[in-house]
Amino acid sequence: MKIGFIGLGIMGKPMAKNLIKAGYELVVLDRNTSVVDEFLKLGAEKESFPKDVAAKSDIIITMLPNSPQVKEVVLQKNGIIEGVKAGTIFIDMSSISPIASKEVAEKLSEKGVEMIDAPVSGGEPKAVDGSLSIMVGGKEEIFNKVKDLLLIMGSSAVLCGDVGAGNVTKLANQVIVALNIAAMSEAFVLGTKAGVSPELIFNAIRGGLAGSTVLEAKAPMIMDRNFKPGFKIDLHIKDLANAMDTAAEVGAPMLLTSQVLEMLRNLHQNGEGQSDHSALVKFYEKLVNTEVNR
């Protein structure tokens, strides 16, 4: 079985490497030629256009920034749709609009191609160690065919419904993560201003109800002033904007999400768009001229 993998960025690169480690043959494509060269040394093939990747692949995986990039790679000139064979399975692991997922799936179905949307959660560290959480939308029989493949890249893969359901679930995940980081930031700035060490607060609360995966992953980064991106603020802005658009379509209230989205947009305007989303703490720090550290 040959896997086409398009998009070798912060997340896609380690995910694709885990597939190679598991023995899969890969055909890769990315605009970054240096990362493509890295995969060639690992035994992968390369192609210059998505249609050529598609023509060589039994399963195609994309890991791209947002809906426009996925639609371009799949549907536009030299796209996957021009080279794909009937019976191929397309797995989009990007975090995009559920509406876009359904549109792409509909177009591919006309070519006899089945699609699942399978966005992930866990950031770069979990992409590296293959322990991502994968949220899937699509037909159950297609999910069952690729589940073992997905579990090379993640520790869990859960079918959430039809195509688009994976991205709805991912949007819910991103809302919860963003609000957790905002709450943690607010609390740590409160503690700092009140004269209590954030590290002691962290150690005191991590085993209680306030403890969470977000707290464990992001509190140390904040206290160490390490904002190297595992997940960029600009990408979280994209996800929350997609969540707001989806909420508007279905009529769901997003009061807290809208507030955090504006905080992230403010940070983007202040040059923090490429920082890790834990840099949300800087929004609060700037308001009171303080810094959370150990």
Structure tokens at 273: 């768009």
Contact 81, 75 (CB under 8 A): yes
Q: Which residue among the candidates 170, 232, 238, 282 is catalytic per the annotation? A: 170
Active site residue 170: yes
Rounded to the nearest 10 degrees, how much is the dihedral formed by the CA atoms of 148, 150, 153, 156?
-90
Residue carrying structure tokens 């371009």: 72
**Cα–Cα distance measured from residue 176 to residue 165, given in angstroms and rounded to the nearest whole number:** 17
SS3 state at 113: coil
- 99 to 71, 102, 105, 293: CA distances (angstroms): 11, 5, 10, 41
Residue positions annotated with a catalytic role: 170
